[in-house]
Structure 1
C-alpha cells in the first residue's frame, strides 16, 4: 500500500470524540477521513435529521450540523453552525462550494421558516450564491437568514455564512410554502448518543 493510500485510510480522532463515535462517522467513508472535534460554541445542539431512520439522509452525510435558538426578533433567533472538516473541503483545502450551498439552503428554509413561524418543510424553488471568502479546516462557520418578504405561497430570504465576523457566502433564496398541513418539523434535538440521560 502506498504512503498516500495508507495516510488516506488512517482515521484520526482528536480530543473530545469517543472511539465509537469516530468509528461510526468514519465508517461512512470507505477510505477514511481525518476527523477533528466539532467543539461547537455554547448553546449549539447537534441536529438529528434522521430521527432513528435506518437510511441516513443527505443532511446527515454532510454534517455534523448544529443549531441554536436566540431571542425572538434578533439576528440570532436561528443560527446554524458547523466545524469545517477535511471531507467538506475541495482539493485546494478550502470549504467546498457545494457544502456552503447546501448549508445556505438549509439556513434559508429552516432558519427562514423559524423566523416567520412556519414549521413546514419548505422546498427551495430558486437560489443564487456569491462566494465571498474561503473557510479552512477547523473554522467554525455560522449561517443566519434574513426574511425579505413572505407571501401566501413563497418565502424570500437572504442568507449569510460567516467565520467570526467575516462573511464567506451571501445567498438569496425563494422557498415554496406548501398549502395544507404537509410535512412538518419538530425542534432540533440532540442526537441520540449525545442526549442527556433522563
Structure 2
C-alpha cells in the first residue's frame, strides 16, 4: 500500500527530536532585526520561498526553514538550499562587480547534512576571484555548528547598457 506524501512528512517530522531544534544557534532568532538581520526585498521567485535575511556587518545570509521548505522525508528540500545559495552568492557577486548585474553560469552544491524544519540556515559567501567578466564564489551553509552544505560557482558580470 503506497504511503502518502503527508504520511511521510508527518513520520519524518515526528522522528526528529524537539531538542534538534534548540541546538545553539540553529534556531531562528526571536527578533532577527535586533541581531542585525534585515529582510532582503524580492518581488520574484525568491519572494515565494523566502524571506531571506542579510546581516550587513559580516555579509551573511540566512533563512528560517519552514514547513513550506520540507521535502518528502521531512527535511529541507535540496532545491531550497540551492536557491538560497544562488541568491546569497549572486547578490555578493554583484557587490564584487561594483553593482553590475551578474548571472549564474555555473554552481555546484554539495549536500553534507540535512537542514531541518525549524533551523536557521546561514550562508557566508566569499569571493575567491574576480576577473574583468567573472566572479568566482564559494559559501558554507550551516545550521548552528552543523555544516549543511557547501556551494561554489561562477557568475558572469553583465555589461551595463546605457539608459535610453
TM range (shorter): 0.7 to 0.9
Q: Which runs of 5+ in 1 are unaligned?
A: 5-36, 51-56, 71-75, 184-198
Size of the aligned set, in residue pairs, is: 135
SS in 1 for 2:102: coil
In structure 2, the partner of 1:106 is 87
Higher relative contact order (CA closer than 8 Å, sequence separation 6+): 2
Quick one: which of 37, 43, 51 aligns to 2:36? 43
Deviation at 1:96, TM superposition (A): 0.5
SS in 2 for 1:123: strand
| Matches of 1:65 and 1:122, distance apart in 2 | 19
Deviation at 1:181, TM superposition (A): 5.0
Deviation at 1:111, TM superposition (A): 2.1
Is 1:128 aligned to residue 108 of structure 2? Answer: yes
In structure 2, the partner of 1:162 is 142
Deviation at 1:166, TM superposition (A): 1.9
Instruction: Rate the CA distance shift 1:152–1:44 in 2: closer, same or farther, 3 A.
Output: same
Larger strand percent: 2
What root-mean-square deviation, in Å, do the aligned CA atoms of Structure 1 and Structure 2 show? 2.1
Q: Which runs of 5+ in 2 are unaligned?
A: 1-5, 7-27
Larger helix percent: 2
Q: Deviations over 1:111-156 (max 9, x none)?
A: 2333x26223211000111001001111101111111110000000
In structure 2, the partner of 1:79 is 60
The answer on whether the counterparts of 2:52 and 2:61 sit within 8 Å (CA) in structure 1 is yes
